[in-house]
Amino acid sequence: MDVLVFGRTGQVARELARLLPDARFLGRDEADLTDPAACASRIAALRPGLVINAAAYTAVDRAETDAAAAQTVNADAPGAMARAAARLGAPFLHLSTDYVFDGAAGRPWREDDPVGPLGAYGRTKLDGERQVAAAGGSHVVLRTAWVFSAHGTNFVKTMLRLGRERPLVRVVADQRGGPTPAADVARALLTVARAFAAGRGRSGIFHFAGAPAATWADFAEAVFAEARLPRRPAVERITTADYPTPARRPANSVLDCGRILATYGIAQPDWRAGLRAVLDELEADE
C-alpha cells in the first residue's frame, strides 16, 4: 500500500510512522499547509495510492485571533489535497474534531447531528470536512477528541508537569468527552486504509474516540493515580466559568462511535489502557 502522510511530528503522525514504516511522511519542510497549492502539487508529483492528512492547526485559543491561518491549514489545504487525491483516484483520509459541535446535546453526538462550532478552530475544521467531501473522491473524515500521547503538547503531559509543581491542580469538571490515545487513532486510520486497499472502503464521516466518557477532572485524576510522581496532587474540580479561555469549548464532546464499528469493525478503545501505555513510554524516557 503506497501511502502518503501529511504530518511528521504531530501525535497521530508519529504513531502512524510506527505502523507504516514504509509510508512517505511530509513535514513542513516538504509540504507547508499554509500553501495549499504546494500540498496538492506534492500529491500530483508523488502519485500515492492513498493519502492521510494528519496535520492541522490545533492551537484552539490562538485560532480566535489567527483565524485566517487556521482557515488555510484546516480547510483550504485539506480541500486542495482531497481534490488532488481525487484526480488520482486515491482515497483521502482526514482527521477532524468534536469541536464542530456546540456541546448542547444531552447524549453522544452522531455523525449526522447538526453542527454548530463555538469558535474559529471548530469552524475551520468544519469547513475542511466540507471541502474534503466536495472534492468528489473516496474519502473518510475521522472526527476524534481529546487526543493524547507521549509526544507533543497534550493534556496528559500538562497534568504531569503541573503535578510535579503543585500539591493541588484545578481542573474543569463540567466539560465531558472521550480521551483518545493517538496510537488508537493511528490504528483506526490503518484499518480504514486497508479496507480501501481491499476495495471495501466506504466514504463519509465517522466518529472515533475513547471510552468511557469522562470530564477533564476525571481524566486528571486518572493521570495522577497512574503516574509515578513524588507525591499525588489533589484535584480541585472547577467550572468552565472559573477557567476562562479565548475560545469557548463544548460542554458535551462525547461522540457516538457506532457507525465506525458497524462499517469498519473498529471498536472504541479504553483510554485508560492507552494512558498506562503513554505513561510507561514517558517514564522509560526519563
Distance CA 271, CA 267 (A): 12
- Please check whether residue 42 is in contact with residue 21, taking contact to mean a CB–CB distance below 8 angstroms: no
Place of cell 468534536: 98
* First-to-last C-alpha distance (Å) of the chain: 36
Torsional sign, CA 119, 117, 155, 9? negative
- Please check whether residue 46 is in contact with residue 24, taking contact to mean a CB–CB distance below 8 angstroms: yes
Burial of residue 133 (CB within 10 Å: 0-12, 13-18, 19+) is middle
* Angle subtended by helix axes 271-284 and 155-165, to nearest 10: 60
Place of cell 489535497: 81
CB hemisphere CA count around 100 (13 angstroms) = 29
- 121 labelled catalytic: yes
Place of cell 496510537: 183
Stretch (H or E) spanning 167: none
* Angle subtended by helix axes 216-226 and 271-284, to nearest 10: 50
Distance CA 213, CA 273 (A): 14
- Please check whether residue 181 is in contact with residue 210, taking contact to mean a CB–CB distance below 8 angstroms: yes
- Please check whether residue 245 is in contact with residue 150, taking contact to mean a CB–CB distance below 8 angstroms: no
Which among 57, 99, 121, 264 is annotated as catalytic? 121
Place of cell 496535520: 55
The catalytic site residues sit at 121
